[in-house]
Structures are given as structure tokens and as C-alpha cells.
């Protein structure tokens, strides 16, 4: 069987997810042994016309992005969104909370007319996305799960559990017990509760679970004497796109 042809692309983002692909030091050779990477700007010069799998990082935030993602979708059999920006719009979507002309003027000043900009969109708002690798940067273990699934020819089933599940499996003390805001109860697991394992709170980088009880979350914050406003700002860090029109 021919090796799958893989291409890697980036849109608006920090390229941290691509960097974490290069950081698979122990597994990189095993990964490369199973695929042919035919296009990857961050690591090579070649370009290809067609691919079996496209890994795409970053959010869509300019008219040119929209054209390019349609082009990638036409050329690839499978499209995988890599990281919070590609999956949920990520940090970029914070700008959607403000009028777009105001954003443009603030960022580009008098040169604003040289830089057309759009409210930030996740890839799935424009094209069909087959699989998500969530997280900021993307969760490496999840990338490997998606990767092995693709090689094995099976669908990857995305977890739809709260981070609390993994946090309990790891027997961590609840962050709320320490009087801090934690977004774990409404955030999608799959990171093995990485941050709370190290004593941090969850910042929600993997996006919301499919049916978050946000009203209930507000009650939780209030009953713990925590600031609902502050928590919502943190929720919007990665979920501004999904929460458009939803109020605290």
C-alpha cells in the first residue's frame, strides 16, 4: 500500500502547533516512516498538487484565507484541523467581540486599507473538517491518536467529556478547592488534564464540550465567591467564536 501523502498548512496563528509537530523527537522518525510529507512550508520547500491528508493550523481571518482553504479542501481527501485556532477560531476570535472596522483601524492604523480583514473563523465555518486535534498548542497525544487512526484507516472519535474526568482519574485536588477559577468542568478532555496535574487551572484551550451547562457554570462561580466576569473573559480566550451572542 502506498504511503499517504501528507501536506501541512498554516493560516492565522502562532505556528506553535506546527512547532509541536517538529517537537515529536522520539516519534518523529516513526511518523515520517509511515507517510510522505509532500508540502510543509515551515520545514521544506516542495509543493504538491494533491494529498491524502492535509493538516491545517490557524484560523481564517482574511479573504485570501477563505480562497486558500477551499483550494486545500479540493486537493485533499482528509482535512485535519490542528489546534485551537483551526478548530475553534482560538485567540484570533477575540477580535470578533469588537466591530471589525475598529479592529482594523487599531491594528493597522493608517495602512488599514492595505490589509483586508474578516472576523476570525474556524476552518469548519468554511469547509468540511474531518478531524480535530484540539488544544493550544495542539495536544500532542491527540495528534498521535488522530495520526494512528488515519494510518489504520479508522475514524477518530473525539472525546466529549469534561477535563474533570481526567482530573479525577489523576486524583488531583479540585482547583475550586483552592479558590481559583477553573474551566475544566465545561472544557473538552483529551489533554489528560495536563495543566491541573501541574497545579495550574484549566484555561479552556481545548474548547467547550458539546453541551456545556454555562448557566450552571455561572452558578458554580458565584457560589464559590469567584468573579463571573473574569471567568467569562477567560472562557472567551479560546471560545469567543463559539460563544458569539451568548452572554454571561
Partner 1 sequence: MAQYFLEQARVADFVAHLLASNTVYAPHRKGSRSYAFAKADDPAAVVLDYPRTLSSVKKFFLPPREVLLNFDLTLDAASVPPVEPGNAVFLGVHSYDLAAVRRLDFNFTTGNPERNYLARRDGARFIGVSYVPDKFHFAGSVGIDPYDMTGCDMFLTKHADGWIVDIPTGEGSELAAGFKLEAHDEPKPPRAHFTQHVFVPQARLGKVMEASYDHPVWNETADACLGCGTCNLVCPTCYCFNVQENVDIACTSGQRERSWDGCMLRGFTEVAGGEFFREKVAARQRHRVYRKFKYISDVTGQPWCVGCGRCTASCTAKISIVEIVNRLIRDSERDESILT
Partner 2 sequence: MEQQIQQFGAGPRELYLPEMAVITEVRRLTELETLYTVELPGGRDLGHKPGQFVEVSLYGIGEAPFSISSSPTRRGSFELGIRRVGMLTDVLAGYAPGRKIGIRGPFGNGIDVSKFTGKDVLIIAGGIGLVPMRSLINYVLDRRDEFGRLIICYGSRSDSELLFPDELAAWEKDPRTEYHVTVDRGTEAWTGRTGVITTLLPGLALDLPNTVACICGPPVMYRFVVMALRGRGLPDQNVYMSLERRMKCGVGKCGHCQINNTYVCQDGPVYNLPDIAKLREAL
Q: Which does 169 bind (CB under 5 to 8 A by kind): partner 2, partner 1, none?
A: partner 1
Kind plus residue range of the DSSP H or E element containing 9:
strand 5-10
Q: Considering beta carbons, is residue 112 or 192 the nearer one to partner 1?
A: 192
214-223 and 228-239 helices, crossing angle to 10°: 140
Least distance to partner 1, CB of residue 117, Å: 36
Q: Counting beta carbons within 10 angstroms of the beta carbon of residue 199, is it exposed (0 to 12), middle (13 to 18) or buried (19 or more)?
A: exposed
Give dist(CA 61, CA 19) in Å, integer: 21
Is residue 162 at the binding interface for partner 1, with CB under 8 A as the rule? yes
Among 32-40, 49-57, 151-159, 239-247, which window interacts with partner 2 (CB under 8 A)?
Answer: 151-159
Give me the phi and psi of 138, to 5 degrees please.
-50, 145
Q: Which three three-digit cell numbers place residue 193?
A: 488534564
Instruction: List the one residue from 135, 185, 190, 204 that touches partner 1 (CB under 8 A).
Output: 185
Q: Are 48 and 7 in contact (CB under 8 A)?
A: yes
Among 14-22, 93-101, 106-114, 219-227, which window interacts with partner 1 (CB under 8 A)?
Answer: 219-227
Is residue 160 at the binding interface for partner 1, with CB under 8 A as the rule? yes
Give dist(CA 9, CA 100) in Å, integer: 25
Q: What is the DSSP letter of 222?
A: H
Q: Which three three-digit cell numbers place residue 99?
A: 466591530
Instruction: List the one residue from 155, 213, 222, 244 that touches partner 2 (CB under 8 A).
Output: 155
Q: Considering beta carbons, is residue 95 or 145 the nearer one to partner 2?
A: 145
Q: Which does 78 bind (CB under 5 to 8 A by kind): partner 2, partner 1, none?
A: none
Q: Which residues pair with 36 in a beta bridge?
A: 5
Least distance to partner 2, CB of residue 153, Å: 6
Is residue 157 at the binding interface for partner 2, with CB under 8 A as the rule? yes
Q: Are 58 and 126 in contact (CB under 8 A)?
A: no
Is residue 178 at the binding interface for partner 1, with CB under 8 A as the rule? yes
Q: Which does 176 bind (CB under 5 to 8 A by kind): partner 1, partner 2, none?
A: partner 1
Q: Are 120 and 96 in contact (CB under 8 A)?
A: yes
Q: Which residues pair with 121 in a beta bridge?
A: 60
Chain residues that interact with partner 2, rule: CB under 8 A: 152-155, 157
Chain residues that interact with partner 1, rule: CB under 8 A: 27, 30-31, 33-34, 144-145, 147-149, 151-152, 160-162, 164-165, 168-174, 176-178, 184-186, 199, 209-213, 215-217, 219-220, 223-224
Amino acid at each position: 500500500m502506498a504511503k499517504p501523502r501528507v501536506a501541512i498548512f498554516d493560516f492565522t496563528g502562532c505556528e506553535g502547533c506546527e512547532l509541536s509537530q517538529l517537537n515529536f523527537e522520539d516519534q518523529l522518525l516513526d511518523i515520517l516512516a509511515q507517510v510522505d510529507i509532500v508540502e510543509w512550508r515551515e520545514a521544506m520547500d516542495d509543493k504538491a498538487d494533491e494529498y491524502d491528508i492535509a493538516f491545517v493550523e490557524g484560523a481564517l481571518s482574511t479573504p485570501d484565507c477563505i480562497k486558500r482553504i477551499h483550494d486545500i479542501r479540493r486537493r485533499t481527501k482528509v482535512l485535519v484541523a490542528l489546534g485551537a485556532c483551526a478548530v475553534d477560531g482560538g485567540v484570533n476570535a477575540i477580535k470578533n467581540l469588537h466591530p471589525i472596522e475598529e479592529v482594523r483601524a487599531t491594528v493597522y492604523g493608517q495602512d488599514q486599507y492595505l490589509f483586508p480583514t474578516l472576523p476570525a473563523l474556524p476552518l469548519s465555518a468554511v469547509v468540511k473538517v474531518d478531524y480535530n486535534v484540539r488544544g493550544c498548542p495542539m495536544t500532542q497525544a491527540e495528534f498521535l491518536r488522530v495520526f494512528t487512526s488515519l494510518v489504520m484507516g479508522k475514524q477518530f472519535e473525539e472525546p466529549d467529556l469534561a477535563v474533570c474526568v481526567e482530573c479525577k482519574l489523576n486524583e488531583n485536588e479540585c482547583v475550586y478547592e483552592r479558590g481559583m477559577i477553573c474551566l475544566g468542568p465545561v472544557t473538552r478532555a483529551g489533554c489528560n488534564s495536563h495543566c491541573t496535574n501541574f497545579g495550574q487551572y484549566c484555561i479552556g484551550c481545548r474548547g467547550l464540550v458539546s453541551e456545556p451547562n454555562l448557566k450552571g457554570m455561572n452558578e458554580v462561580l458565584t457560589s464559590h465567591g469567584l468573579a463571573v466576569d473574569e471567568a467569562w473573559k477567560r472562557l472567551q480566550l479560546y471560545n469567543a467564536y463559539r460563544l458569539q451572542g451568548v452572554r454571561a
